Structure 1
Amino acid sequence: MKILFVSMPHPTHFHPMVSLAWALRSAGHEVRVAGHPDLTDTATGAGLTMVPAGKPGWYRDDPYEPDLYGQLMGRGASDFLRTFDWSWTDERAWSWEGLLGQEKILVSALLAGISNDPFLDDVMDYARHWQPDLVIWEQLTMGGAVVAEALGIPHARFLYGLDFLGRAREEFLRLYQQRHPDQREDPTREWLEEAVGRFGGTWSERLRVGGFTIATTVPGTELEVGFDTIGMRYVPYNGRCVVPEWLREPTDRRRVCLTLGTSNEIENTGTTVGEILRGLADLDVEVVVTLGAEEAAKMGELPANARPVGFVPLHDLLPTCQAIVHHGGFGSRLTSAYHGVPQLILGHGYDTMLAGQRQEKLGGGLCLPADSATPQEIRDCVARLVDDPALAAGAALIRADLLAQPSPAEVVPMLERVVAEWGR
């Protein structure tokens, strides 16, 4: 088979797909990766063949207005999407008006920018030339679905976190059907129908949610949605990495990892890494914090138990840790689950709080809202993570359930059957 992976250029959104791409290659299938030119180094660095599509710097130069609806509502679109009530606790957010606004902003501020016309044109040109048998597209890069539907070939949405967007879409459609035809509006359909129509295709809800879904979600945290789904074991991949020498050295204290993404500020709060480190200073632990030298220098003198290390591959660091504190990104939480490490998630929006709460219910971690968590609360949670055997046992059970999922190699024959049976 020929399989075309299609992804947005953010590395962390592409990394979960790498293990499946290589499982397919190892089984003898041909694999190509189509994405914005910004993805080239990431894809080729993973040893995969890249097909650049669209223009470099799409997020800076694309002519669509990313904050159009956000400005009309008095706040930025990205902030609206981050803070939308994805956990389904606010009835106003999940009303027809609330979900319609969410759809409008999602399409205009994100989806239509990722799969813009230059990108679609280039991916379609290559697909017509190469004739793939299957398209697997990252969950926000619906251009992959547009190309596949126009060509009449099977395609899968690749899901790496909780399907909070899919659940919102299902509820939107339920409310849509209840409205009088004259009062219906579907921004997602309007955009995708026009996009696929340019290539001779027709609208289908598959353009939004895929012909089927491949999901690497932590078992037990899934949301209830009605999509055909193949569960796949998450396999950690951190990109190009070098194992630092210090990581081979024994430590006489329990180790805690503190990583909050690319900034030393918890997103959208005033709590800093420095404040958190000072709050952890009295614990008998070594805190490995992913801070570069310049960032660490700006903080002045750090506590004696803090070890700033810059970038370090979590896949190699976490087996030496008894706990991790992180911002809820899917790479951090999935890698932590893979290694059975109890985790404190500082939820800051999107699916981070939802995932943290669900993992907390499974007994493998704790969760605090980033916008109100204090250094003292974080310190108390870390003390529980390293001292409470029940949390360690819960994290071990989560790991066991994750490892029981089909491996990428075991998913390959499932995909072969889908392609063989498509359209029958």
Structure 2
Amino acid sequence: MSKLHLISLGCNKNLVDSEIMLGRLQNYEITDDVAVADVIIINTCGFIDSAKQESIRSILEVHDARKKDSLLVVTGCLMQRYKDELMKELPEVDLFTGVGDYDKIDEIILKKQNLFSPRAYLQANEERVITGSNYHAYIKISEGCNQKCSFCAIPTFKGKLKSRSIENIVDEVKKLVKKGYFDFSFLSQDSSSFMRDHAKSDGLIELVDAVERIDGVRSARILYLYPSTTSNELIRRIIDSKVFQNYFDMPIQHISDKMLKIMRRGSGAKRIKELLTMMREAENSFLRTGVIVGHPGEGEEEFNELCEFLSEFKFDRISAFAYSREEDTLSYEMDQLPTKTIEKRLSKMEKITKKIVNDSFANELGKKFEVVIEGVSSEGEMFYGAKKLLWDKDIDGEILINESEFETLETGKIYDCEITQVIKDKVLGRVIG
């Protein structure tokens, strides 16, 4: 049997696409060793400069390590965005394809032909091979984006919003439930715009209703809400749900009205604060956000306003990114801030966000809640690793289980846990039932 090695870079939306490719290539034996693989696939990210560099570095490293006569296939966002340049500059790669042909990867390999469909692939009924979990799966609900953020090039190579039908999504979830999956994260570029391409302003509420009716879904959450397309009704529906967690992931990018206007975010600070307050006031709520530091037009006053807001408003997790100047974006032609200024601000922001996250972890001390056992912890075999059922997988932290009323704990099973110790971002707990 031929061996396959697949590397999935970037976000979890990319991971779903990689799992679709694995579903099409189940006649291959998966290997973690690139040196013995007959086929190597790299699913690239092309969102910001650091991700692009990582993708190119991975391609070159894999080429150096692979065996003679193996096939190196590069796909994903980077290839879609820069296909003409990269096909000339990367002789190391055997086959190129973009974001529209994940369901044709077996044909591409068989025919050994490059393929670039003009539109991003919208998942239909393909079987996926879920990786990294026996209980949790990401569900992509749409592709593309209708937003016009000044800093983002995604619409230029992913196209406009294209939503999957609710029936199609429900069918996929039901199939995964039958395989034992019970925890789901629904995601897209702009999840709160779901079904707006079908003239439905609150299609996400319909999706919540439909998922709640599926027997076997124990827990769910929605990722990537966008301020201008998130309604009060949607937030209330999530809060009222017995299946969807009070998990609110809304990248605000900034809080200065001046910067929100420059960044073309569509909502002002007042509306963003109103939404966040509704979310925070929900029982057992969890708030995650993302911000950009150093966008053109950001002065010290605007940066300090953002720092002050983040310090005062109690988020649970914050991702801070340095502004990346990207071709085909509105901000590309704006007057850019000096690199040293951006680096200095990011350093200050990272200290603020680290304290906020550590404070959130500290608030867990002494609490009791449901966790899912992930297996051996990142700290080694001395601990089990666990995820709070409320949290998203991998990105929100790990609970180290060092005590248990049970002799053995099963991966993918839910247990009651009490948090006994917190040291910065290290959270220790014991299973009590």
Same fold by TM-score, threshold 0.5 exceeded?
no
Q: Structure 2 length normalisation: TM-score?
A: 0.29
**Higher strand residue share:** 2
Q: TM-score, normalised by structure 1?
A: 0.30
Query: Relative contact order (alpha carbons < 8 A, sep ≥ 6): 1 or 2 greater?
Result: 1
